Structures are given as C-alpha cells and as structure tokens.
Homo-oligomer: A and B are copies of this chain.
Amino acid sequence: MGRTQVICTASWVEGVDQWRKGSGKGWVTAEYGMLPASTSSRKPRPIAKPDGRGVEIQRIIGRVLRSVVCFKKLQERTIYLDCDVLQADGGTRTAAINGAYVALVLAVKKKMSLGLCPRGVITGAVAGVSVGIVDGKVLLDLDYSEDSGAQVDMNLAMTSKGEFVELQGTAEQKPFAPAELEKMLAVGRTGIRKLIQAQRRAISQHSLHP
C-alpha cells in the first residue's frame, strides 16, 4: 500500500447499544478517520461538515470485520475498531481492513488469555486488497499515483479460502467488461493470499503481555 500508514486499534467495551440490548449478542463497529496532514493538501477535521467518503469507508470496514465474528460467543460486548490514517498513499481502506483484522484478533486473544472471552469468537481470516486497471493493465494494490489514473478501481475483501466477503468496483473512466472483472478478481486473489500470511505473522509475533 505504498507509503500509506494507518493506526488500527480494537477497544473492548462491556455492553452494547440500546437496539442490541437483551439479545445476548455483541457487535463490532468501525470508525475511519484521516489526520489533517495525512494528505498532500491539508484536509480539515470533519467537525462542521461530516466527511461522506469517510462514512462510506467505515461502513465497509465494519461489514467486512463483522463477517468473521460470532456475536453469540462475543456476548453483549462492543468492539470498536478505530482506523486512523497517518499518511495516505492509496489503499487506505484496504490497509484499514487488514490492520483492523489484526487488532481485532489480538484483542480477542488477550481477553481469552485472561479467561474473559470464550473460544470461537473469531470465525475466520479476512483481508482486503485493491485492484485496478491502469493504462489497460490490471494492477494489484494501487498507490496514490496509480489510483488517480485508474480506469477501474476495485476493492476486494476475501477469506483465506478465496471466497468473497465484500466486492466493490467502480468504473472511473469507462465501463469495464466481464472479462476484465475476471482478470481483476484473479489478480486480487493472489494478493489476498499474501496479505493473510502477513496478518498471521503480525499476530503470531505480537506479545500479548507488554
């Protein structure tokens, strides 16, 4: 993801929102933000006016991460996944998904090691990657300059078994054909595999008791 840097944290909070109370089930919610100096021209903080792009992205991150959590086992707790972009160079939303997954797993493992959470809360592995068509060629993991000139911009979230969790593609300059879609999905799949390995390394190398 080029020089993109995103801090991803998981905060474990006892209890759930009003609409979920009494269900016996937990919830996972994501928030996405960008520091003002993370972009090349300063981006004002979203105080007066909410940031539509950020809202769209955090909804996607939340959906993807919820797909690998068993809410019944989590019980009535909320896990907040905060993804804050320190430096943006393309791929911030997929970087956020990948980092949030690692943060989520580490948080659950830590609670398990303290006997505060049963087995089976995390039901699988998921990673996200961008694919695009630039100058007619399918590229994996676009950085900012590639992204800006892409004809098609696609974001994939997939499991370790190559199945889709979320799939979102936009024709930036002209519509794309089914054959192009297929090429992008194939390229994306190889990226996902590497990312899931990288997540596993990050998780296993992390010491839970600092």
Q: Which residues of A contact B (CB under 8 A)?
A: 7, 9, 11, 13, 31, 33, 35-37, 42, 45-50, 52-53, 55-56, 58-59, 63, 67, 80, 82, 84, 86, 124, 154, 158-159, 161-171, 175-178, 181, 185
Contact = CB atoms under 8 A, between A and B. Distances in A.
Contacts of A154: 167
Contacts of A161: 175
Prevailing SS type, chain A contact patch: mixed
B178 A170 contact: no
Contacts of A181: 164, 167, 185
19 contacts: A11-B36, A11-B37, A31-B36, A36-B82, A37-B80, A37-B82, A47-B50, A50-B55, A55-B55, A55-B56, A67-B171, A154-B167, A161-B175, A162-B178, A164-B169, A164-B171, A166-B169, A168-B169, A178-B185
A167 to B, nearest CB: 4
B178 A171 contact: no
Nearest to A80: B42
A158 B67 CA distance: 27
A162 B180 CA distance: 12
B168 A168 contact: yes
Contact of A48 (B49, B53, B82): B49
